[in-house]
Homo-oligomer: A and B are copies of this chain.
Amino acid sequence: MQRKLPHSNLYLREEELRRGVELLYFAYRDFTRDPDEILAESRFGRAHHRVLYFVGRNPGTTVSGLLSLLRITKQSLSRVLGQLVEDGYITQESGLEDRRQRLLYLTDKGQAFEKELFATQRDRVAEAYKRAGPEAVAGFWEVLLNIVDAEERDTVLRQIEK
């Protein structure tokens, strides 16, 4: 007969690992809900939101910059980017040093829309931060960063510390 041994790694048991997996699923499910609802009223979707977001955060970024950040294919990006440019949410300027590059910027219209979309997620996250408190928030960042692929952590750090 086996005795239950006390051990210090209680947070690494199957149960706790499942909890992380499930909370990630449920949190992400709801996290995307508010912007998705706004987007559903336009001809845009979640992919457009991501492009708006990251162009807003990194004005002057290029197509290949977005590709490596979003990790989708050129064709997927090209489609949504084209629609955003066509509808006047994003402008492109050719690169100063390398004229093949297209430097991407939000127009005023793009900024306004991004702001509206972000507001819903900002409110949700702010409320969660408030309820959980600063120490919990630090832990939240720490674990999430370590869930990211090891090779990608530098890129992510550069992004979030901007």
CB contact list, A18-57 vs B, under 8 A = 18-31, 33, 50, 53, 57
CA distance A27 to B23 in the complex (A): 13
With beta carbons under 8 angstroms apart, the residue of B17, B27, B30 that contacts A125 is B17
Interface residue range, chain A: 35 or more
With beta carbons under 8 angstroms apart, the residue of B137, B147, B160 that contacts A128 is B147
Q: Which of A59-67, A89-97, A148-156 contacts B (4 or more CB under 8 A)?
A: A148-156
Q: Is A145 an interface residue (CB 8 A)?
A: yes
Instruction: Report whether A129 and B26 are in contact in the complex, using a CB–CB cutoff of 8 Å.
Output: no
Q: Is A6 an interface residue (CB 8 A)?
A: no
Instruction: Report whether B159 and A147 are in contact in the complex, using a CB–CB cutoff of 8 Å.
Output: no
Instruction: Report whether B125 and A132 are in contact in the complex, using a CB–CB cutoff of 8 Å.
Output: no
